[in-house]
């Protein structure tokens, strides 16, 4: 002990043994799921069926998918779920516009994805409605009066009333148009690499919510105003009064969420219910939790709102249909295109076939998008910069993917040279600080996965993988591997390289990011 500090030096054999332990355990970093494992349900995506998925959905889907995969790696049973907002006035606007101006147009006849086609009719309704209001205002009436007199809006409301009354023609049109949208969504989800175990539809859950609210009214948990609307008084919780049913008896989002929660807990023995929803809904989930608790549901207090920040684009960086919202499909296509151009300029596609070049471009483009979004602490707002995300240097997906390809190239060359790594590494070799540091970093993977699972923060894994790739590249630059004359040391470096690549692959798999073997 010198001046109160204890100087420890760890024998090289300890690092060698640690690497061998990691190397011999293909499931390092993963806790197995068993019959007694707790069940987590994770809700994400939650689209409306009147438009395509957009940039905000991209962050939501990627966070929900990655969190689910990390929870599985922590030994939890996971049910990935989606609630589709498939009913309401917004859908009726698209239906009405298609009836009026569609001339029987279909995704097949237009050559458009179904969700884009329906989105176009939603925009068309909005344009015609604004035009109608402007014309009424020109006649000297106020905007409010014009909105009340709008024929278009009244026709849309009439469609909603018909739908709620189960009118056959209206319900058939609704089903046909929603099916077009679902086919479009499925294509987007496939491209993005996200999936669900169970999909709920608002049209199937909102009545259950209404029933619960009416039960709450009967039991004096809620109160009714003179106009017939039903409210919850939450002032005892430091909140305000919350509308649960409108005067005309129609439900609001909160009603539906009560119904959906009840059905989910009826369907599954859920231990933890996680909602992946943006931070603008913080109040909503605070209220939902209180209302479910008031209604006597034990699970009410335990709901988890995985609240995340907004995502924006640098101004003018990307095309969009309406000049404001960027479609997920357009974003992904543009990322793949940009990845192809960038990879070609850097000579990364020189020795590959056109099919391989296409596969690499897809891998790099989508990997860049996913990694750039998931490396940011979910709670923070972020700007997604497409150009920055496809840089092959720095904290990016392509840099990590390239590191993996570089290691695979080293391992292939070792095999070509007939190098056979022995079962047991030589524990008497002398290691550099850099090599010891890399083994230490590799050994932390298990801890980082556990931390990301307990804190619901997938960015911890992303940044860990970047640190690992960065440290490996420094090691690769400073030391020889295949040309190392001391064969036990060369073997150690090959096993180290192999496990860095494997850990990169495992880490990126949580995010649905593929890593290429060649680049």
Please tell me whether residues 336 and 410 are part of one structural domain.
yes
Q: What is the CATH number of the domain that holds 350?
A: 1.10.730.10
Q: What's the pLDDT at 320? A: 44
Query: Is pLDDT at 436 greater than 70 in this prediction?
Result: yes
Report the pLDDT averaged over residues 488-502.
Answer: 97
Please tell me whether residues 363 and 387 are part of one structural domain.
yes
Report the pLDDT averaged over residues 13-25.
Answer: 95
Q: Which of 191, 225, 258 is the last residue of a domain?
A: 191
Indicate the burial class of 32 (C-beta count within 10 angstroms; 0-12, 13-18, 19 or more): exposed
Please tell me whether residues 215 and 240 are part of one structural domain.
yes
Query: Is pLDDT at 134 greater than 60 in this prediction?
Result: yes
Query: Is pLDDT at 19 greater than 70 in this prediction?
Result: yes
- Domain range enclosing 150: 86-191
Number of folded domains in the chain?
3
- The overall pTM is greater than 0.85: yes
Rounded distance, CA 519 to CA 517, Å? 7
Rounded distance, CA 83 to CA 47, Å? 7
315 falls within a domain: no
Indicate the burial class of 18 (C-beta count within 10 angstroms; 0-12, 13-18, 19 or more): middle
Give one DSSP letter per residue of 366-435, joined into a string.
HHHHHHHHHTS-TTS-EE--HHHHT-SSSSSHHHHHHHHHHHHHHHHHHHHTT----SS--TT----HHH
Question: pLDDT for 105-118, tens place per residue?
Answer: 999 999 999 999 99
Tokens representing 55 are 């940039």
Query: Is pLDDT at 482 greater than 90 in this prediction?
Result: yes
Indicate the burial class of 375 (C-beta count within 10 angstroms; 0-12, 13-18, 19 or more): buried
Radius of gyration of the chain (CA): 28
Q: Residue 221, Cβ neighbours under 10 Å: how many? A: 16
CB 360 within 8 A of CB 343: yes
Please tell me whether residues 72 and 100 are part of one structural domain.
no
CA–CA distances in Å: residue 9 to residues 15, 336, 429, 436: 12, 49, 15, 11
CA dihedral 119, 124, 125, 128 (to 10 degrees): 170
Lowest mean pLDDT among 158-167, 181-190, 407-416: 158-167
Q: What is the mean pLDDT of the chain?
A: 94
Tokens representing 317 are 């960086």
Q: What is the CATH number of the domain that holds 270?
A: 3.40.50.620
Q: What's the pLDDT at 86? A: 96
Percent of the chain residues past pLDDT 70, beyond the cut = 96
Instruction: Give, to the nearest 10 degrees, the angle between helix 253-267 and helix 282-294.
Output: 60
Please tell me whether residues 299 and 414 are part of one structural domain.
no
403 falls within a domain: yes
CA dihedral 478, 482, 483, 489 (to 10 degrees): 80
Query: Is pLDDT at 191 greater than 70 in this prediction?
Result: yes
Rounded distance, CA 279 to CA 310, Å? 8
Please tell me whether residues 75 and 212 are part of one structural domain.
yes
CA–CA distances in Å: residue 143 to residues 351, 379, 397: 64, 39, 50
Which phi and psi angles does 31 have, rounded to 5°? Answer: -100, 125
User: Which contacts qualify for 469-478: CB closer than 8 Å, 24 or more apart?
Assistant: 469/399, 469/400, 469/403, 469/404, 469/500, 469/504, 471/434, 471/437, 471/438, 471/441, 472/403, 472/407, 472/438, 472/497, 472/500, 473/403, 473/406, 474/434, 475/434, 475/435, 475/438, 476/406, 478/434
Residues, the chain: 519
Q: What's the pLDDT at 261? A: 97
Please tell me whether residues 127 and 144 are part of one structural domain.
yes
Report the pLDDT averaged over residues 26-45.
Answer: 97
Question: pLDDT for 297-341, tens place per residue?
Answer: 999 999 999 999 998 888 744 444 454 678 999 999 999 999 999
Query: Is pLDDT at 202 greater than 80 in this prediction?
Result: yes
CB 88 within 8 A of CB 115: no
Query: Is pLDDT at 14 greater than 50 in this prediction?
Result: yes
Report the pLDDT averaged over residues 54-58.
Answer: 92
Q: What share of the chain is helix, strand, coil (3-state, %, to 5)?
A: 60, 10, 30
Q: What's the pLDDT at 321? A: 45
Query: Is pLDDT at 1 greater than 80 in this prediction?
Result: no
Please tell me whether residues 460 and 383 are part of one structural domain.
yes
Please tell me whether residues 20 and 72 are part of one structural domain.
no
* 3-state class (DSSP) for residue 136: helix
What band does 5 get if pLDDT is binned at 50, 70 and 90?
low
Q: Which helix (H) or strand (E) holds 487?
A: helix 487-509
451 falls within a domain: yes
316 falls within a domain: no
Q: What's the pLDDT at 188? A: 98
CA–CA distances in Å: residue 33 to residues 73, 76, 271, 274, 346: 8, 6, 15, 19, 43
Query: Is pLDDT at 2 greater than 60 in this prediction?
Result: no
Please tell me whether residues 457 and 369 are part of one structural domain.
yes
212 closest CA partner among 265, 255, 264? 255
Q: Residue 240, Cβ neighbours under 10 Å: how many? A: 12
Could you give the strand order of the β-sheet that contains 223-224, starting from the edge strand earlier in sequence?
Answer: 223-224, 230-233, 241-245
Q: Which helix (H) or strand (E) holds 492?
A: helix 487-509
Question: pLDDT for 76-126, tens place per residue?
Answer: 999 999 999 999 899 999 999 999 999 999 999 999 999 999 999 999 999
Question: pLDDT for 215-244, tens place per residue?
Answer: 999 999 999 999 999 999 999 999 999 999
Q: What's the pLDDT at 319? A: 46
Please tell me whether residues 368 and 234 are part of one structural domain.
no
Please tell me whether residues 223 and 295 are part of one structural domain.
yes
CA–CA distances in Å: residue 121 to residues 114, 217, 262: 11, 39, 34
Question: pLDDT for 445-460, tens place per residue?
Answer: 999 999 999 999 999 9
């Amino acid at each position: 002990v010198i001046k109160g500090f204890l100087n420890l030096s760890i024998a090289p054999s300890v690092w060698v043994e640690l690497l061998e332990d990691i190397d011999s355990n293909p499931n390092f970093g993963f806790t197995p799921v068993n019959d007694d494992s707790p069940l987590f349900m994770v809700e994400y995506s939650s689209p409306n069926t009147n438009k395509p998925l957009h940039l905000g959905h991209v962050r939501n889907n990627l966070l929900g998918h990655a969190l689910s995969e990390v929870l599985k790696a922590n030994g939890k049973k996971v049910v990935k779920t989606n609630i589709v907002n498939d009913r309401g006035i917004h859908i009726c606007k698209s239906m009405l516009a298609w009836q009026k101006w569609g001339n029987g147009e279909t995704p097949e006849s237009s050559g458009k994805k179904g969700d884009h086609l329906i989105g176009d009719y939603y925009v068309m309704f909005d344009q015609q409605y604004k035009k109608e209001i402007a014309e009424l205002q020109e006649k000297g009436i106020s905007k409010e009066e014009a909105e009340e007199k709008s024929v278009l809006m009244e026709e849309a409301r009439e469609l909603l009333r018909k739908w709620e009354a189960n009118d056959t023609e209206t319900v058939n049109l609704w089903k046909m148009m929603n099916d077009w949208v679902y086919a479009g969504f499925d294509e987007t989800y496939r491209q993005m690499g996200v999936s669900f175990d169970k999909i709920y539809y608002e049209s199937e859950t909102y009545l259950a919510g209404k029933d619960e609210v009416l039960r709450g009214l009967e039991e004096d948990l809620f109160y009714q105003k003179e106009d017939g609307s039903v409210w919850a008084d939450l002032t005892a919780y430091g909140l305000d009064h919350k509308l649960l049913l409108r005067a005309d008896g129609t439900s609001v989002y909160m009603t539906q969420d009560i119904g959906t929660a009840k059905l989910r807990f009826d369907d599954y023995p859920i231990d933890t219910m996680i909602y992946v929803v943006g931070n603008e809904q913080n109040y909503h989930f605070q209220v939902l939790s209180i209302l479910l608790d008031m209604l006597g549901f034990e699970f009410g207090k335990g709901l988890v709102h995985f609240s995340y920040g907004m995502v924006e684009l640098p101004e003018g960086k990307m095309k969009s249909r309406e000049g404001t919202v960027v479609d997920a499909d357009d974003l992904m296509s543009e990322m793949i295109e940009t990845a192809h151009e960038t990879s070609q300029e850097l000579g990364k596609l020189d020795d590959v076939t056109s099919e391989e070049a296409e596969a690499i471009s897809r891998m790099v483009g989508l990997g860049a998008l996913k990694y750039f979004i998931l490396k940011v602490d979910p709670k923070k707002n972020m700007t997604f910069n497409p150009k920055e995300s496809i840089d092959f240097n720095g904290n990016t997906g392509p840099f990590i993917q390239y590191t993996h390809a570089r290691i695979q190239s080293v391992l292939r060359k070792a095999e070509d040279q007939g190098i056979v790594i022995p079962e047991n590494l030589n524990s008497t070799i002398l290691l550099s600080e850099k090599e010891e540091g890399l083994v230490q970093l590799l050994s932390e993977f298990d801890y980082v996965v556990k931390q990301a699972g307990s804190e619901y923060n997938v960015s911890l894994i992303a940044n860990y993988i970047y640190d690992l790739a960065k440290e490996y590249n420094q090691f690769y630059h400073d030391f020889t591997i295949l040309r190392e004359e001391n064969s036990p040391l060369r073997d150690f470096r090959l096993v180290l390289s192999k496990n860095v690549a494997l850990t990169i692959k495992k880490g990126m798999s949580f995010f649905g990011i593929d890593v290429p073997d060649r680049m």
